[in-house]
């Protein structure tokens, strides 16, 4: 199978990036990370990419994000854009141009809790469960077709910090699965729908944690 050319966008720590790199090394996915792009010069994820000899690119925040990203992405070999903790909203020109080729991971059981501070909100609202979701990106913030989710039960003793850790562990399982499915052509985005093995699926696939 041909290697999938993937561009990864990050803003911060980059543990999902590191995890994807590790899965690739273990050959559990078969991708070529052509570039790691960040809007934050101090992002630890950039350090991780450099240590792995992956090309990095810094977004100039003084320029308009849509034009800046368009310019950067136009020069990259790319079959898929993976948002891994990219904290800026992708501009519409990018979403339209690369429609069906952009995945995002979000730390909640979407459609619940789009946006920021998801762990704080689930605790405040006494939710009984929490998790992470991989979805295709559309212009609706964290609102594109849902692909795969992993869930955990929330305990009374759970803090924001420990929920963040537990959700990260889920993310490390479900993002490589989604990338692998994309590579094998098993998942597609058609308009606002998620297609899995040529069938329209209205709910995300539930991943049982390993």
- 131 in contact with ligand GAR (CB under 6 A): no
DSSP 8-state code for residue 145: P
Among 31, 36, 105, 187, binds ligand GAR (CB under 6 A): 105
20, exposed or middle or buried, with CB in 10 Å at 0-12, 13-18, 19+? buried
CA–CA distance, 7 with 84 (Å, rounded to integer): 10
- 14 in contact with ligand GAR (CB under 6 A): yes
For residue 80, give Cα distances in angstroms to 91, 97, 101, 112: 17, 12, 5, 26
The answer to whether the CB of 16 falls within 8 A of the CB of 105 is yes
Number of residues counted as binding ligand GAR (CB under 6 A): 14
- 13 in contact with ligand GAR (CB under 6 A): yes
- 12 in contact with ligand GAR (CB under 6 A): yes
Least Cβ distance, residue 179 to ligand GAR (angstroms)? 14
Active-site residues, by number, are: 106
- 144 in contact with ligand GAR (CB under 6 A): no
Among 33, 85, 134, 144, binds ligand GAR (CB under 6 A): 85
- 15 in contact with ligand GAR (CB under 6 A): yes
Among 107, 144, 145, 176, binds ligand GAR (CB under 6 A): 107
Strand ranges for the chain from DSSP E: 4-10, 31-38, 56-58, 80-83, 102-106, 129-136, 146-153, 187-190, 193-196, 199-201, 205-207
DSSP 8-state code for residue 144: S
- 122 in contact with ligand GAR (CB under 6 A): no
Q: Which residue is nearest to ligand GAR (CB)?
A: 85
Stretch that binds ligand GAR, among 22-30, 51-59, 72-80, 101-109 (CB under 6 A): 101-109
Q: Report the Cα–Cα distance between both ends of the chain, in Å, rounded.
A: 26
What residues make contact with ligand GAR under the rule CB under 6 A? 10, 12-16, 45, 84-85, 105-107, 168, 171
């Amino acid at each position: 199978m041909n290697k999938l050319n993937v561009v990864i966008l990050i803003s911060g720590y980059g543990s999902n990036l590191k995890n994807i790199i590790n899965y690739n090394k273990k050959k559990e996915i078969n991708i070529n990370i052509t570039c790691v792009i960040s809007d934050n010069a101090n992002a630890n994820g950039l350090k991780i990419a450099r240590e792995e000899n992956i090309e990095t690119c810094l977004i100039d925040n003084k320029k308009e994000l849509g034009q800046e990203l368009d310019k950067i992405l136009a020069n990259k070999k790319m079959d898929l854009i993976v948002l891994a903790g990219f904290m800026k909203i992708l501009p519409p020109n990018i979403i339209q141009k690369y429609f069906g080729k952009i995945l995002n991971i979000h730390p909640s059981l979407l459609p619940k809790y789009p946006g920021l501070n998801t762990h704080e909100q689930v605790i405040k609202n006494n939710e009984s469960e929490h998790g992470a979701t991989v979805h295709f990106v559309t212009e609706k913030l964290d609102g594109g077709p849902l692909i795969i989710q992993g869930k955990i039960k929330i305990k009374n003793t759970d803090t924001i910090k420990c929920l963040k850790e537990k959700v990260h562990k889920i993310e490390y399982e479900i993002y490589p699965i989604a990338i692998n499915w994309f590579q094998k052509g098993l998942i597609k985005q058609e308009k606002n729908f998620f297609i899995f093995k040529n069938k329209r699926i209205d709910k995300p696939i539930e991943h049982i944690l390993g």
